[in-house]
């Protein structure tokens, strides 16, 4: 599954969250991308014939603290 988003030059990086249900309770995983130039990431090792829900948010590092933006809308993806 490849996840892509629009670049925001004002942020430090992005966070991708995906799970097997809409409420992100089952099998939730998070990938943190620390470069703001990255605009897509391929998520591997997913289960075949399963549906995943994915959302993305940006973050900005201020000192040692990460300040997160709101999540994008949730997308539903079926793995072949």
Residue-wise pLDDT tens digits, 58-70 = 999 999 999 999 9
- Give the number of domains in the chain: 1
pLDDT of amino acid 21: 94
pLDDT of amino acid 30: 98
pLDDT of amino acid 75: 98
Of the chain, the percentage scoring pLDDT greater than 70 comes to: 100
Full domain range(s) for residue 34: 2-78
pLDDT of amino acid 8: 95
Give tens-digit pLDDT for 14-31. Answer: 999 999 999 999 899 999
pLDDT of amino acid 46: 95
CATH of residue 37: 2.60.40.10
Q: pTM to 2 decimals?
A: 0.92
What would the 3-class secondary structure string for the chain be?
Answer: CEEECCCCCCCCEEEEEEECCCCCCCCCEEEEECCCCCCEEECCCCCCCCEEEEEEEEEEEECCEEEECCCCCCEEEECC
């Amino acid at each position: 599954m490849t996840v892509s988003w629009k670049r925001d030059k004002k942020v430090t990086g992005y966070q991708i969250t995906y799970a097997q249900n809409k409420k992100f309770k089952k099998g939730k995983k998070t990938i943190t991308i620390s470069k703001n130039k990255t605009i897509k990431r391929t998520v591997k090792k997913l289960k075949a014939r399963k549906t995943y829900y994915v959302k993305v948010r940006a973050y900005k590092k201020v000192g040692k603290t990460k300040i997160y933006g709101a999540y994008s809308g949730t997308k539903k993806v079926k793995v072949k």
